[in-house]
């Protein structure tokens, strides 16, 4: 039996009522009489659909990704200043490579997104005493990926670092500019792999702090 006939039978509607409901949308065309005619099973199904539609929409991951806007992708220098793991996280990775830690380092918090700090060393110490250091690329980006086939951390080109173990939170982090001294982040990273999840913009606000800067905060 075609699906529309099965649906009409399930809703217990006459042919004319069915056509009427199709003209002015299924739900809106229900008259008091047609709703009253619904068998219990159909009513339960309708309420089930309503309850699902009330709670399910775009997933948080998809919504976050959409918030990042359009930009050319495909190389390690793209989208500086954005939360990398939105597209490169373990649970949701439409961007391909999965990172455990990634972000962008700036010299000053007032730097526009295109001027990250190149050649900075981003040093990590995790709760299992693993130490590793990533080197930022021309845009200030760095990204850390787990590769269990390695025996030691391996710095690759363009800010990419591979490490042989899953880092254990909490993680302490510090940044050293070429020829400079290390500046440590005051607090530890407890679960978020993207710097920009907490660090974005030139100024702090109630729910975030400014982008990761090395020399100074924006005036």
Partner 1 sequence: MRVGPTTVLLCTAAIFGACVNDQSTDAFDTTGTLADFSTYVQPVLAAGCTSLDCHGNAGRPLRLYARRGLRTEVALRGKDASDEEMLANMLAISGLDTSDTKIEDKLLLLKPLSVDAGGLFHKGGNLWPDQNDPVYRCLHAWLRSGVSDEAGRAVCTEALP
Of the residues 40, 69, 74, 129, which one makes contact with partner 1 according to CB under 8 A? 40
Which residue has tokens 């974005």?
200
> Which CB sits closer to partner 1, 181 or 207?
207
x/- letters, 107..146, toward partner 1 (CB under 8 A)? ----------------------------------------
Count of chain residues binding partner 1 (CB under 8 A) = 29
Alpha helix (H) residue ranges in the chain? 3-11, 15-23, 32-37, 40-55, 60-67, 85-88
User: What part of residues 183-202 is at the interface with partner 1 (CB under 8 A)?
Assistant: 186-192, 197-198
Contact 132, 121 (CB under 8 A): no
84-115: buried (b, 16+ CB within 10 Å) or exposed (e) per residue? bbbbbbeebeebeebbbbbbbbbbbbbbebeb
> Which CB sits closer to partner 1, 163 or 195?
195
Q: Does 207 bind partner 1 (CB under 8 A)?
A: yes
Angle at 181 between CA 177 and CA 185, to 5 degrees: 85
Rounded to whole angstroms, how far apart are CA atoms 16 and 69? 47
Minimum distance from residue 216 beta carbon to partner 1 (Å): 15
> Which CB sits closer to partner 1, 57 or 72?
57
> Which CB sits closer to partner 1, 152 or 190?
190
Rounded to whole angstroms, how far apart are CA atoms 160 and 186? 25
Q: Does 43 bind partner 1 (CB under 8 A)?
A: yes
Q: Does 209 bind partner 1 (CB under 8 A)?
A: yes
x/- letters, 44..73, toward partner 1 (CB under 8 A)? ---x--xx--xx------------------
Rounded to whole angstroms, how far apart are CA atoms 173 and 116? 18
Contact 105, 113 (CB under 8 A): no
Of the residues 29, 119, 169, 202, which one makes contact with partner 1 according to CB under 8 A? 169
Kind and range of the H or E run holding 123: strand 121-125
Minimum distance from residue 119 beta carbon to partner 1 (Å): 27
DSSP 3-state percent helix, strand, coil across the chain (nearest 5): 25, 20, 55
Minimum distance from residue 64 beta carbon to partner 1 (Å): 11
Binding site for partner 1 (CB under 8 A): 30, 32, 35-36, 38, 40, 43, 47, 50-51, 54-55, 169-170, 186-192, 197-198, 204-209
């Amino acid at each position: 039996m075609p699906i529309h006939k099965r649906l009409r039978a399930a809703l217990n509607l006459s042919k004319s009522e069915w056509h009427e409901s199709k003209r002015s949308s299924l739900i809106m065309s229900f008259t008091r009489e047609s709703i009253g005619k619904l068998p219990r099973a159909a009513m339960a199904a309708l309420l089930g659909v309503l309850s699902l539609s009330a709670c399910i929409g775009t997933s948080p991951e998809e919504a976050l990704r959409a918030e990042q806007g359009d930009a050319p992708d495909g190389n390690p220098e793209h989208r500086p200043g954005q939360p990398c793991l939105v597209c490169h996280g373990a649970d949701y990775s439409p961007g391909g490579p999965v990172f455990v830690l990634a972000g962008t380092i700036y010299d000053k918090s007032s730097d526009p997104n295109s001027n990250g700090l190149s050649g900075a060393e981003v040093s990590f110490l995790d709760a299992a005493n693993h130490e590793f250091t990533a080197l930022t690329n021309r845009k200030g980006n760095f990204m850390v990926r787990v590769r269990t086939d390695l025996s030691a951390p391996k710095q690759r080109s363009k800010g990419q670092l591979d490490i042989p173990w899953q880092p254990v939170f909490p993680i302490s982090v510090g940044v050293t500019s070429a020829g400079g001294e290390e500046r440590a982040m005051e607090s530890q990273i407890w679960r978020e792999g993207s710097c920009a999840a907490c660090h974005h913009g030139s100024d702090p606000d109630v729910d975030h702090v400014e982008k990761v800067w090395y020399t100074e905060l924006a005036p």
